Amino acid sequence: MDIIANYGWYLLISGCIFGFFMAWGIGANDVANAMGTSVGARALTLAQAIIVACIFEFAGAYLAGGEVTSTIRKGIIDPSLLTDTPELLVFGMLAALLAAGSWLLIASYNGWPVSTTHSIVGAIVGFAAVGISVDAVSWSKVTSIVSSWVVSPLMAGTISFMIFRSVHHLILDTDDPFNNAKKYVPGYMFLVGFVLAGVTLLKGLKHIGLDLSFYEAIQYSILIGLGIAFIGSRFLKKINNTKVERGDVVFDGVERVFAILMVFTACAMAFAHGSNDVANAVGPLAAIVSVVQSGGEIAAKSAMPWWILLVGGIGIISGLAMLGYKVIETIGKNITELTPSRGFAAELAAATTVVLASGTGLPISTTHTLVGAVLGVGIARGLSAIDLSVVGRIIVSWIVTLPVGAGLSILFFFTLKGIFS
C-alpha cells in the first residue's frame, strides 16, 4: 500500500505512456492487416486505407470498446490473491503493456502480422505465473481465450466461404453479372450496416449513457442498414460497365461495383477492429488506474473512464499512420490473389466475427480472424489459389508471439519491482 501511496502518480503516468505505446503497436500491426485486404484488392490506395482506418478505428475504439475490456482486465488474474499486495498487479500490468508493445514494434518494423491479443494475454499470464503465483492465473479463462483463437478463424473462414459462394451464385456465375451486381450489392451493404450497428447499439454505448433495449437496438440497426444501402446504391448508379486500369490490374464493371462495396466493408472492419482490440491496450491501463486511484484497492468491477478509451483510440491511429504500411504490404498481396469481390467476402466475414466477439466480451485475435477469412475465400477457389508457404510463416509468427510476450513481461516485471521496491 505504501508504494501505491508514495509513487501513485509515477505509476499512473507510466501506465498512460505504456498503454499508449501498446495501442500504437496495435495500430502499426493489427490495423494494418485489417486494411491489407482493401489495399491488396486495389479497392483503396494505401493513403486512402490509412485515412479510412484512422476515422473508423477511433470511432470503434471510443464508442464500442468498453465491453471487451473487462475480460482482459480482470478475467485472467484472480484478484483475491493480490489484496495485500496491489502494487504487484500494477507492476504486472505495466510490464505486460511494455512487453507486448515492444514485441509489436519489432514485428511491425519487420512486416510480420502477429496477434496483439496473443501478445498481451501471453504477457499477463507470464508475469502472473512467475512473478506472483501459478494459482493467480485463471487457467479456465485462459483456456477459453485460447480456444477462441481456434474458433475465430474457423468461424470467419466458414462465413467468408459462404458469402463468396453466394456472390458467385447471385452475381459472378450468371448471364448478366454487371446488372446483377448492381441489383444485389445494396443487400450486402445493408448486411454490413445492420451487423455493425446492431452489436454497437446493443453492447457498446452504455459507457456514454446510451442504453437501448434489444428491440430498440434492432429497429435502429435496420434503419442504419437501410441508410447505408441507400447511400451505396447512389454510388453504384454512377458506375458503367467499362474496364478501368488500377495499378497492374484491369477491373471490369462488376469488380468496380465490388470496389465500392469494399470501401463499406473496410469501414466496417476498421470499426470492428477498434471496438475489439483497443481492449488489449486499455484493459491493463484501466486496472492500473483503478488500483492507483482507489489507494490500493483492487475492485471486482470498475467503470471504464472515457479518457482511457481516448488514449487507446489516439494510440491506434498514430501507430497505423506511422508504421502500418509494412504489414499492409505483407498481408494484402501474399496469401492469395485478391480482387474486390474476394476481398469483400473476407472483410465482411472477419468484421462480422469480430463484432460478435466484441459484443460477447470474448477477446479474439483479429489477425487470426482475418487470415481465416482470406483462407476461406481462397479455398472457395481451390487450394492451389493459396500460397501455403506464406500461411506457414504467418502461423510460426503466431506461435512465437506467446512465449516472447511472456518472457519480456517477466523481465520487465522484476525490473519494475526492483526499481520501486
- The helix/strand/coil state of 246 is strand
Q: What is the reported pLDDT for 299?
A: 64
Q: What is the reported pLDDT for 19?
A: 94
**Is the pLDDT at 366 greater than 90, yes or no?**
no
**Is the pLDDT at 15 greater than 80, yes or no?**
yes
Rounded to an integer, the average pLDDT of 241-251 is 71
Q: What is the reported pLDDT for 202?
A: 64
**Is the pLDDT at 11 greater than 60, yes or no?**
yes
Q: How confident is the model at residue 23 (pLDDT cuts 50, 70, 90)?
A: very high
Lookup: cell for 81: 490473491
Q: Please, what is the average pLDDT of the chain? A: 82
**Is the pLDDT at 150 greater than 60, yes or no?**
yes
Rounded to an integer, the average pLDDT of 282-306 is 76
Rounded to an integer, the average pLDDT of 354-374 is 74
Rounded to an integer, the average pLDDT of 177-188 is 89
Q: What percent of the chain has pLDDT over 70?
A: 89
Condensed to tens digits (0 to 9), the pLDDT of residues 209-239 reads: 667 777 888 898 899 999 989 988 888 888 8
**Is the pLDDT at 2 greater than 80, yes or no?**
no
Are the C-beta atoms of residues 120 and 284 closer than 8 Å to each other?
yes
269 vs 347: CA distance, rounded Å: 6
**Is the pLDDT at 300 greater than 70, yes or no?**
no
Torsion angle (degrees, nearest 10) of CA 44, 47, 49, 55:
-140
Q: How confident is the model at residue 104 (pLDDT cuts 50, 70, 90)?
A: very high
Cα Rg, the chain, nearest whole Å = 22
Rounded to an integer, the average pLDDT of 122-135 is 88
- CB neighbours of 37 closer than 8 A, spacing ≥ 6? 262, 266, 269, 331, 332, 338, 343, 346, 347, 370, 374
Rounded to an integer, the average pLDDT of 299-308 is 68
Rounded to an integer, the average pLDDT of 157-167 is 88
Phi first, then psi: what are they for 245, rounded to 5°? -90, 130
Give per-residue burial for 167-182: e unless 16+ CB within 10 Å, then b.
bbebbeeeeebbebbb
**Is the pLDDT at 362 greater than 70, yes or no?**
no
Rounded to an integer, the average pLDDT of 301-313 is 76
Q: What is the reported pLDDT for 386?
A: 82
Q: What is the reported pLDDT for 301?
A: 56
Condensed to tens digits (0 to 9), the pLDDT of residues 274-293 reads: 776 777 888 888 888 888 88
DSSP string over 174-187: SS-HHHHHHHHHHH
Q: What percent of the chain has pLDDT over 90?
A: 15
Spell out the domain ranges in the chain: 2-420
